């Protein structure tokens, strides 16, 4: 059994307090204005060189998430939090699922997409890819789907089966619709029907692509979706911005340079390669945001998730830059009204937070100056669930002249 962990930060404990559940939040879709906010597509969505060659010989740099199964302390930023990885659900099943369900931006957006666009679901056959507790299947069934196939590979499928039954949606015991829970991997199960009208899935990982569940959705799409069928969500975009982050970089990265008088900078070198999943305060943002890549889930191929995208980040004030920050948004363009959410630092927090890529040296940037470069994103060859990121960037400013290449591994 493979497994993986990710380095997650605790910045919000020191500055911005993040919580998903607001006092006025409940799951009644018509009740509160925050639901509308989360789902309108506008609330949470925003407006829009020395070379440091990666040293692959350093400690553990070839490791993938599979190697971290019994070795979670090998992540250096913090003790790694083994969350939201499907194999982990077998071990720590309830915490990550609760965290995801309590992420109201995420869950209420899906709920609103389904309830407010029930015309899309009426009498349709739906496939829920990676059903977890079955929450999306329940939404679809309630919205009038003819039949929902809820496929889940972890032990949670047994709970989903029970949940479906208790709520009156199991086959042969339905109020208005049937849900069939199928336990197994999408790639291995046999679906009782040849085709489905809609594929719904919450497949997004940290940095959008970590865990690589997107391939599972694309596999299901190519195997079962009718020619004019819908994939929900159908668009996902990755963005990049730059932040000032002196305090946190000092605390998490430079710490290793002098630990009680000893040089542990070999660990610093390794921790620099591990993107940090953490919540960034919007006041830290120094530049514009650059769209790196939009993926059309209805049409793309698995290979499209590996790409090189150029970027140009323009400083909006004089400041220092310690890291580039990646985040994503997803949208459901087939809804009556464009709906979606962003995981960006200017939007309401989600459990995906943002992904922070620390830069080797501090950039001193003046307003109007630009950092130009490219980001290459690729599946790790050894473990396709992991993501390899290469960042090329340069700044040719009045106070700083830098051109570098840095490599990162999300594992
Ligand atoms: C992010 S969770 C979403 C759960 C649920 N749909 C929700 O929205 O709360 C993704 C789920 O997909 C399951 N999963 C991942 N890969 C899968 C695969 N290849 N086949 C079936 N299920 C898979 C995981 O076990 C996990 O329960």
Our answer on whether the CB atom of 216 is closer than 6 Å to any ligand 1 atom is yes
Average pLDDT across the chain, whole number: 84
- Extract the runs of DSSP E, i.e. beta strands, from 136-202: 147-152, 178-183, 196-201
Our answer on whether the CB atom of 151 is closer than 6 Å to any ligand 1 atom is yes
Which SS3 state, helix, strand or coil, does residue 408 take?
strand
Cα 3 from Cα 17, distance rounded (Å): 30
For residue 168, give Cα distances in angstroms to 133, 214, 246, 382: 15, 31, 54, 44
pLDDT at residue number 66: 56
* pLDDT tens digits, 118-130: 999 999 999 999 9
pLDDT bucket at 25, cuts 50 / 70 / 90:
very low
pLDDT bucket at 172, cuts 50 / 70 / 90:
low
Which residues are catalytically annotated? Answer: 202, 211
Of residues 69 and 347, more confidently modeled: 347
Cα 163 from Cα 97, distance rounded (Å): 14
**Does residue 276 have a pLDDT over 80?**
yes
* pLDDT tens digits, 378-410: 999 999 899 999 999 999 999 999 999 999 999
Of residues 17 and 91, more confidently modeled: 91
Q: How far is the CA of 73 from the centre of ligand 1 (A)?
A: 26
pLDDT at residue number 211: 87
- Residue of minimum CA distance from atom 6 in ligand 1: 131
DSSP string across 228-272: EEEEES-EEEEEEEEE--HHHHHHHTGGGG-BTTB--HHHHHHHH
- Asked whether the beta carbons of 145 and 116 are under 8 A apart, the reply is no
pLDDT at residue number 67: 55
What is the rounded average pLDDT of the residues 70-83?
43
Classify each residue of 22-36 as buried b or exposed e, where b means 16 or more C-beta atoms within 10 Å of its C-beta.
eeebeeebeebebbb
Q: How far is CA 404 from the centre of its chain?
A: 26
Cα 144 from Cα 123, distance rounded (Å): 6
- Extract the runs of DSSP E, i.e. beta strands, from 17-160: 125-129, 147-152
Q: How far is the CA of 391 from the centre of ligand 1 (A)?
A: 30
What is the rounded average pLDDT of the residues 233-253?
97
Domains identified in the chain and CATH numbers: 30-410 (2.70.160.11)
Q: Which atom, in ligand 1's list, is nearest to the CA of 186? A: 20
**Does residue 354 have a pLDDT over 50?**
yes
pTM, 2 dp: 0.84
* pLDDT tens digits, 201-223: 999 999 999 988 999 999 999 99
Task: Of 152, 158, 142, give the one whose Cα is nearest residue 202.
Answer: 152
What is the rounded average pLDDT of the residues 156-163?
96
Our answer on whether the CB atom of 135 is closer than 6 Å to any ligand 1 atom is yes
* pLDDT tens digits, 307-319: 999 999 999 999 9
Cα 127 from Cα 149, distance rounded (Å): 5
Q: How far is the CA of 74 from the centre of ligand 1 (A)?
A: 26
**Does residue 56 have a pLDDT over 50?**
no
What is the rounded average pLDDT of the residues 267-275?
96
Q: How far is the CA of 185 from the centre of ligand 1 (A)?
A: 9
Our answer on whether the CB atom of 87 is closer than 6 Å to any ligand 1 atom is no
Three-class SS string for 267-322?
HHHHHHCCCEEECCCHHHECECCEEEEEEECCCCCHHHHCEEEEEEEEECCCEEEE
The percentage of residues in the chain with a pLDDT greater than 90, rounded to a whole number, is 73
Our answer on whether the CB atom of 136 is closer than 6 Å to any ligand 1 atom is yes
Contacts of 23 (CB under 8 A, 6+ apart): none
Cα 316 from Cα 49, distance rounded (Å): 21
What is the rounded average pLDDT of the residues 17-39?
35
What is the rounded average pLDDT of the residues 280-288?
98
- Which pair of tokens denotes residue 240? 């990049």
- Best residue for ligand 1 mutational test, from 1, 113, 132 (most atoms within 8 Å of Cβ): 132
Cα 259 from Cα 121, distance rounded (Å): 58
Lowest mean pLDDT among 36-50, 134-148, 184-198, 334-348: 36-50
- Residue of minimum CA distance from atom 10 in ligand 1: 130
pLDDT at residue number 9: 74
CA geometry: angle 138, 93, 167, nearest 5 deg: 25
Q: How far is the CA of 130 from the centre of ligand 1 (A)?
A: 3
Of residues 296 and 29, more confidently modeled: 296
Of residues 26 and 7, more confidently modeled: 7
Q: How far is CA 226 from the centre of its chain?
A: 27
The percentage of residues in the chain with a pLDDT greater than 70, rounded to a whole number, is 76
């Amino acid at each position: 059994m493979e497994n993986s962990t990710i380095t997650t930060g605790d910045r919000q404990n020191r500055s911005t307090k993040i919580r998903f559940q607001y006092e006025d939040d409940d799951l009644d879709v018509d009740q509160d204005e925050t639901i509308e906010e989360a789902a309108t597509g506008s609330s949470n969505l925003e407006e829009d060189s020395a070379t440091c060659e990666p040293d692959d010989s350093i400690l553990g740099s070839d490791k993938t998430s599979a190697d971290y199964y019994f070795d979670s302390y090998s992540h250096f930023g913090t003790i790694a939090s083994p969350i939201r990885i499907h194999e982990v659900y077998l071990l720590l099943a309830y915490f990550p699922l609760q965290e995801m369900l309590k992420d109201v931006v995420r869950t209420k957006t899906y709920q609103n997409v389904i309830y407010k666009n029930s015309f899309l679901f009426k009498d349709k056959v739906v496939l829920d890819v990676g059903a977890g507790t079955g929450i999306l299947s329940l939404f679809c069934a309630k919205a009038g789907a003819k039949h929902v196939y809820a496929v889940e590979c972890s032990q949670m499928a047994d709970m989903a089966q029970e949940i479906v039954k208790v709520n009156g949606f199991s086959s042969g015991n339905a109020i208005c619709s049937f849900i069939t829970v199928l336990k197994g991997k999408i790639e291995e199960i046999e679906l009782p029907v040849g085709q489905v009208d809609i594929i719904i899935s919450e497949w997004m990982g940290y940095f959008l692509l970590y865990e690589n569940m997107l391939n599972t959705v694309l596999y299901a799409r190519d195997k079962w979706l009718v020619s004019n069928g819908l994939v929900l969500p159908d668009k996902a975009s990755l963005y990049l911005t730059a932040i000032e982050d002196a305090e946190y970089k000092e605390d998490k990265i430079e710490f290793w340079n002098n630990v009680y008088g000893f040089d542990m900078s070999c660990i610093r070198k390794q921790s620099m390669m591990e993107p940090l999943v953490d919540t960034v305060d919007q006041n830290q943002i120094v530049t514009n945001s650059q769209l790196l890549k939009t993926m059309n889930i209805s049409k793309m191929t698995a290979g499209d998730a590996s790409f090189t995208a150029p970027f140009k980040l323009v400083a909006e004030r004089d400041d220092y830059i310690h890291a580039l920050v990646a985040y994503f948004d997803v949208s459901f363009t087939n809804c009556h009204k464009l709906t979606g959410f962003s995981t960006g630092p200017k939007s309401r927090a989600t459990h995906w937070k943002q992904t922070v890529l620390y830069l080797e040296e501090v950039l001193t940037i003046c307003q109007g100056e630009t950092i130009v470069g490219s980001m290459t994103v690729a599946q790790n060859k050894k473990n396709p669930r992991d993501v390899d990121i290469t960042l090329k960037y340069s700044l040719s400013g009045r106070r700083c002249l830098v051109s570098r290449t840095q490599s990162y591994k999300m594992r």
